Structure 1
Amino acid sequence: MPELPEVTALASFLTERASGLAVQRIDVVAFSALKTFDPPVSALDGATVRGAERRGKFLAVKIGEQYLVCHLSRGGWLQWRDAMPTTPAKPGRGPLALRVHLEGECGWDLTEAGTQKRLAVYVVQDPMEVPGIARLGPDALDPELDVATLAALLADRRKQIKGLLTDQSTIAGIGNAYSDEILHTAKLSPFKLASSFTPAEVERLHAAIRTVLSDAVERSVGQRAATLKEEKKTGLRVHRRTGEACPVCGDTIREVSFSDSALQYCPTCQTGGTPLADRRLSKFGIRT
């Protein structure tokens, strides 16, 4: 899933490549992806791209006086094309969801891998009209999200910190991958309750959020859209590295699986050497 660093890089990439170019037309291939109908997508025809920005994990492209807003969800991605296909895109079961044709025969595709189609596209006058954007909490890299503000967000929240970090209404921009990285850097258990944090632990968490995300943004911005996924993978130290050695202490990175996701962590760095219970395996009598 694209998170704050990747969406920041995609916004920068589109601003550089598409700004000043007029939209020729937009083909909606997966009609389920389009969540708004007034104004219609055709209202963007002939309007000029004025830039792109990130709102949480949403990508908002300003076209004329309106915005084409996209949430790429888990399997979505943006693919830039220097030369668009000449044959019309046809609705079907393929990965293509939406195609933006720009003057000069270039443009971009929004695609989505997998069977669960969650990619969402909106045409709005103001990004705040998108319900998911209106509900966003403070941005993870907003300078106003200081240690005191973070402490207030955690106070009295009897929720595991892993879930709280990925709750976009609490802090915007962090997903499954970077929450694993942040908690590993901060040396905190993903199951630790937010309400139990000491002042020192809040400071460690705040520093880790800044460091992990800022480093990832620095690595990502300037990359072509086609190389961003691989750049993200190479920069991750624990996420999706189950069974590998922790780069800090050498212990084996472990995993806790859920119905549709998983987290990774280092027992030595984060849980005092104690493995966390993996309920998915425990129900089969397998010890973890």
Structure 2
Amino acid sequence: MPELPDLEVFRENLNERLAGKKLTTVQVPYDKKLNVSGDQLRAVLSGQELKSLSRSGKELHLNFEKGDVLALHLMLRGQLHFFEESHVIKSPVIELFFEGGTGLVMSDFQKMATPTLNPPAAEAPDALDKSVNVDFLIKEFKGKKAAIKAILLDQNKIRGIGNAYADEILWKAGISPYSIAGKIPEEKLKDLHRAINEVLKDAIVQIRKAHPGSITGEFRDFLKVHTQKYPKSPTGGEIIIQKSGARKTYYTEEQELFN
């Protein structure tokens, strides 16, 4: 699943290509995930100018001139594709046709990718929002018995971080992913706050540099710990891979366990 850094780069590239264009029509070949009917979606959005694209957690928001928003969530396997005039892309979920022939398709062979018209405001903050500060982390983790990684992955707590970046952030902060959130001392939460910002912002820079123009995919080739390229972390710790269900956690014994 694309995570915050991937989606931030996608947002930039989509914005550059589509902002200022008028949406001529929209088609929904697979409408099971849409919160309104295809006819309602067309009635609301057709003819509106796309003012900008923004990102909210793991969603991309297309912001139209009358204040309407179309949210696109790629889920696990969704992909975005540009096209001109027409396309032969398999498993389309939603198709956006803009003036001048430019189009955008969200596809997903698993049929899980989700378009939403005018989504409700999210209650949890985005991981890069200024409100996610040390005080926020102290308040959010106080008394919590859950593992710190589970909380970082909970989109109802903090939005945008997924499995790969949770591992990278926790390694950077020197905190074991299996630490009990409520047991982590305040000084280490300062390290965690710093790591969230540094890891995510650096990843955006790395993806932008290595994959300019990208609007789909997951780019992980530069990660330091959540990787099978190296047996050890940059500081020499052996990378341990622990599997739980379909999810793998990558960490080292350099990370302190709080329990």
1:225 and 2:225 matched: no
Q: CA deviation at 1:186?
A: 1.0
- What is the correspondence of 1:272-287 to structure 2 with a 5 Å cutoff? none
AA of the residue aligned to 2:238: T
- Contact 1:8–1:221, Cα closer than 8 Å, also in 2: no
Cα distance in 1 for residues equivalent to 2:251 and 2:75: 23
Name which of 212, 232, 252 aligns with 1:266: 252
| Number of the residue aligned with 2:105 | 109
AA of the residue aligned to 2:105: D
AA of the residue aligned to 1:270: Q
- Contact 2:58–2:160, Cα closer than 8 Å, also in 1: yes
AA of the residue aligned to 1:229: G
Q: CA deviation at 1:46?
A: 1.6
| Number of the residue aligned with 2:21 | 21
| Number of the residue aligned with 1:285 | none
Name which of 230, 239, 243 aligns with 1:257: 243
| Number of the residue aligned with 1:52 | 53
| Number of the residue aligned with 1:144 | 131
AA of the residue aligned to 2:65: G
Q: CA deviation at 1:174?
A: 0.9
Q: CA deviation at 1:182?
A: 0.3
Cα distance in 1 for residues equivalent to 2:242 and 2:51: 43
Give TM-score scaled by structure 2 length. Answer: 0.88
- What is the correspondence of 1:83-102 to structure 2 with a 5 Å cutoff? 83-85=84-86, 94-102=90-98
Q: CA deviation at 1:181?
A: 0.7
Give TM-score scaled by structure 1 length. Answer: 0.80
Equivalent pairs counted in the alignment come to 253
Aligned residues: CA RMSD:
2.3
Secondary structure, aligned partner of 1:32: coil
- Contact 1:79–1:225, Cα closer than 8 Å, also in 2: no
| Number of the residue aligned with 2:198 | 211
Q: CA deviation at 1:143?
A: 1.8
User: For structure 2, which runs of at least 5 residues remain unmatched after alignment?
Assistant: none
Q: CA deviation at 1:213?
A: 0.8
| Number of the residue aligned with 1:281 | none
Name which of 163, 170, 184 aligns with 1:197: 184
Q: CA deviation at 1:252?
A: 3.4
Q: CA deviation at 1:194?
A: 0.3
User: For structure 1, which runs of at least 5 residues remain unmatched after alignment?
Assistant: 273-288
Percent identity over the alignment is: 28
Structure 1 segments (4+ residues) deviating >4 Å = none
Cα distance in 2 for residues equivalent to 1:17 and 1:41: 22
